[in-house]
Amino acid sequence: MEIEKKDIRALSKEQLRDFFVANGDKSFRGNQVYEWLWSKGAHSFDDMTNLAKGTRGMLESNFVINHIKVDTMQRSEDGTVKNALRLHDGLVVESVLIPTKTRTTACVSSQVGCSLDCNFCATARLKRMRNLEPAEIYDQVIAIDRESKLYYNHPLSNIVFMGMGEPLMNYNNVMKAIEMITSEEGLGMSPKRIMVSTSGIPKMIKKLADDDVKFKLAVSLHSAIDEIRARIMPFSANFPLADLRESLEYWYRKTKSKVSYEYVVWKGINDNQESVDALVKFCKYVPCKVNLIEYNPIDDGEFQQASEEATNAYIKGLQSIGVVVKVRRSRGKDIDAACGQLANKEA
Ligand code: SF4
C-alpha cells in the first residue's frame, strides 16, 4: 500500500530544519527549501536548483507540493477577474480580483463551501466540505497577485476574506496564511491592508482581540434586530446581538481598531425605519464604519435589493450620528463574482 505523502508546505521552517538534521544533512538546507516554497513559489522539487539531485530525490520520496491550479479564469466587463481553483483533492474554490482606480483587492475563500447558512448566499447552498489549508489560502493570493501584475501592472494592494466560508470557523489556518502573507518570506504585505470578514461569532472575535491581530475586522451585520437577523442568517439565533456587541466592545478596547459593518438592505426585510433606527443605535456602541452593499439576487426568491429610498434612509440616519457610510456597488455581476454569488457554477 502506498503511503500518502505529506504536503511539505504544512511544515514550519523549524520543522524543515529538523527534518534535514534528522536525515544527516545541515539545518540551513531547511531554510533553502522554505525559501523555494514560499518566496520563490516552487511548484516542484526539481525547481529547487541549488539543491543536490539526491536531496531533491529525498524530498520527492517523502513529500508532495499541493499547489492549487487555476482551473478557469473569467474576466468581467468591469475588469473583475474570477478564478475557479482546483485543489489537490479535486474540490474547487473561487477567489476574485477586484480592481479600482487606486487599488486591486483580492477576495479570498477560507473554506470549501461554508459552515453557516446565510439565506441570501449562494455559497451556503454548497454546505461546508472542508477547511482550506494555509497554503491553499496563500496560493489564492499569489494567483491574484500575478493576475494583478499581468492585467493592471501593479501588485495586489489589499486582501479581504469575504469569499467562500466563514474565516473564523477555520481560525488557525487563516491565521497561519495571514502570517505568511505578511511575512518577509511571503508577500510582505502590511496587515493593515487585510480585512477579515466574519458573520459575527462573539467567542472568536474575542479570541482575535486576545491574539493581538493587526488586520482589520468586518462583521456582516445585515440587521441590528435579533429576529430579523435570524431570518437572514439563521445560525445567528445562537449568537444574540447583545453578545456580538459585547465581543466588539472587547475587540475595540484591546485593538483600538474600528469595525466595519457590512450591510445589505433587502426589500420587505430590513427596509423599514425601525431597522434603520436599530442600526443607528448599534453603531453607537463601538467606533465603526458601515458599508451598504448592493445585492445580487441569487434567484427570484425572498431576497431582493431594496429601493434607493430605503438605502438613503440608512445613509441619512448614520450620517446624523457621524458614522462614515459607503455604498458599495457590486462588481463582476456578469460572471457571478459579486458578493454572495460564489458557488462553483463552472466546476
Ligand atoms: S455569507 Fe459568508 S458566512 Fe454566510 S453562508 Fe455565505 S460564505 Fe458563509
Domain boundaries, the chain: 6-64, 69-335
Cα–ligand 1 centroid distance for 329 (angstroms): 19
Model confidence at 346: pLDDT above 60: no
Q: Which three cell numbers stand for residue 328?
A: 458599495
pLDDT of 287: 98
pTM, to two decimals: 0.92
Model confidence at 345: pLDDT above 90: no
For ligand 1, whether the C-beta of 165 sits within 6 Å is yes
**Could you give the C-alpha distances from 239 to 21, 74, 93, 200, 276, in angstroms and in order?**
48, 37, 28, 8, 21
Cα 83 from Cα 70, distance rounded (Å): 6
Among 67-76, 108-117, 147-156, 169-178, the range with the most confident prediction by mean pLDDT is 169-178
Q: CATH topology for 69-335? A: TIM Barrel (3.20.20)
For ligand 1, whether the C-beta of 306 sits within 6 Å is no
Cα–ligand 1 centroid distance for 274 (angstroms): 25
pLDDT of 347: 52
Model confidence at 40: pLDDT above 80: yes
Q: Using one digit for the tens of pLDDT, what is the confidence trace for 157-204?
A: 999 999 999 999 999 999 999 999 999 988 999 999 999 999 999 999
Given ligand 1 and candidates 94, 96, 110, 123, which is best to mutate, with the most ligand atoms within 8 Å of its CB?
Answer: 123
Q: Are 87 and 112 in contact (CB under 8 A)?
A: yes
Task: Mark out the alpha helices in 44-133 (DSSP H runs).
Answer: 53-62
Q: Using one digit for the tens of pLDDT, what is the confidence trace for 204-256?
A: 999 999 999 999 999 999 999 999 999 999 999 999 999 999 999 999 999 99
**Average pLDDT of span 322-346:** 75
| CATH 1.10.150.530 for domain 6-64 | yes
Q: Using one digit for the tens of pLDDT, what is the confidence trace for 282-333?
A: 999 999 999 999 888 877 788 999 999 999 999 999 999 999 999 988 777 7
Cα–ligand 1 centroid distance for 136 (angstroms): 19
